Structure 1
Amino acid sequence: MDHLKETTIKKEKLFSGRIIDLYLEEVRLPNGNTSSREIIKHPGAVAVIAITEKNKIVMVRQFRKAMEKVLVEIPAGKLEKGEEPATTAKRELEEETGYTCDSLKPLISFYTSPGFADELVHLFVANGLRKDTVDHHLDEDEFVDLLEITLEEAQRMVENQEIYDAKTAYAVQYLQLQAMMRK
């Protein structure tokens, strides 16, 4: 695999933000030539598949400025420095939805946009869901609507492109597969 590796020659931080850092890296290509790469460094994130006792998928609807539209997503959030993904997942589930869970099962981790970012999302399945709080405990700049939808509704939302978000589409696909395997 080393014949595919790019080696960083020079690295310059162009921007340091609250969530991401942007670097410009000069790299040596496998053929000896050089090129530049714009790389976003991200602390990572979690996402949670949560199913209520009425067999509804817990989702949130929120405005996403980068897309200039409202998206429907499973609960998710950014890892805090030094925080374990499971801790983040429990916190984000409760903050965004008011639900807590008895346990979390790690499902898979995946990169969101490996062509230019190192963001790694850890996907969990929540077990033993309980609605412990009436209100969400959102960050002060976060506004969401809570949704509880059936798998069939979620499938239609993916097909109708009402669910655009990759982690949420992945979660719906996972739940579809689980449902097929139970039959």
Structure 2
Amino acid sequence: MEPRDDARLIEQTTRREELLRGRFLHVLRDTVRLPDGGSDTREFVVHPGAVMVVPLLDDGRLVLERQYRHPMGRVMIEFPAGKLDPGEDAWTCGRRELREETGYVAREWARAGVLHPVISYSTEFIEIWFARGLALQQRQLDAGEFLEVFSASLDELLAWCRDGLVTDAKTLSAALWLQNLRSGAWSLQWQASPDAVQPG
């Protein structure tokens, strides 16, 4: 895309109020000056960011999870993911979440990119990482965390996306990546994990 002048689109914050500071979420209300000189308010959630892991088994199947999501009131099919701890880098977060939620550790990792799942009302970003060379160890779920781990083929996942069984934004983004990797249109740069299990 060619460079564009964004000045005529950008809003300037003139006032900020804190509406909520919870255990997990931080909600703000900004008063903004619009590009035409008018004024409006923007309420949004400040989020620390997260990492999603797309774990690839040696037979080509994918490691997925089924987890109840209270705001949706339903069990969702997702790839493993979790929020960044303070000061934590994304790769460390991805390795931690994969081990805690699924019990797997990976020999190799590749960063695919970043997605912003709710750009109209949250600062949340999710880094997308792929993991392969998986070895199963012990899960370490957080207290109060309940989920089922299972495997599926890419074709099964794509069918679930098509049929509306998978509606989670990050998992849909991963499906796009997986389609383009399979076709050869996109590629990944793999790197060895610093905590990989070495063959004995």
Q: Aligned Cα RMSD in Å?
A: 1.1
Aligned to 1:3, what secondary structure does the other structure show?
coil
Q: Distance in 1 between matches of 2:136 and 2:72?
A: 31
- What's the counterpart of residue 180 of structure 2? 177
| Structure 1, gaps ≥5 residues long | none
| Structure 2, gaps ≥5 residues long | 1-5, 186-200
Corresponding position: 1:143 with 2:146: yes
Corresponding position: 1:27 with 2:32: yes
- TM-score normalised over the length of structure 1: 0.95
Query: How many residues end up aligned between the 2 structures?
Result: 180
- What's the counterpart of residue 101 of structure 1? 106
Deviation at 1:111, TM superposition (A): 0.9
- What's the counterpart of residue 132 of structure 2? 127
The answer to which of 115-124 and 170-179 deviates more is 170-179
| Residue from 19, 42, 45 that aligns with 2:50 | 45
| CA displacement 1:71-115 (0-9 Å, x = unmatched) | 000000000010000000000001110000123211011111111
What is the identity, as a one-letter code, of the residue corresponding to 1:89? G
- TM-score normalised over the length of structure 2: 0.87
Q: Does structure 2 retain, via aligned residues, the 8 Å contact 1:100–1:129?
A: yes
| Residue from 86, 89, 114 that aligns with 1:81 | 86
| CA displacement 1:35-80 (0-9 Å, x = unmatched) | 0000110000000111111211000000001111100000000000
Write the mapping of 1:55-70 to structure 2, written as runs, cut at 5 A: 55-70=60-75
Deviation at 1:130, TM superposition (A): 1.1
Q: Distance in 1 between matches of 2:8 and 2:20?
A: 31
Structure 1 runs of 4+ with >2 Å offset = none
Aligned to 2:66, what secondary structure does the other structure show?
strand
Q: Does structure 1 retain, via aligned residues, the 8 Å contact 2:58–2:132?
A: no
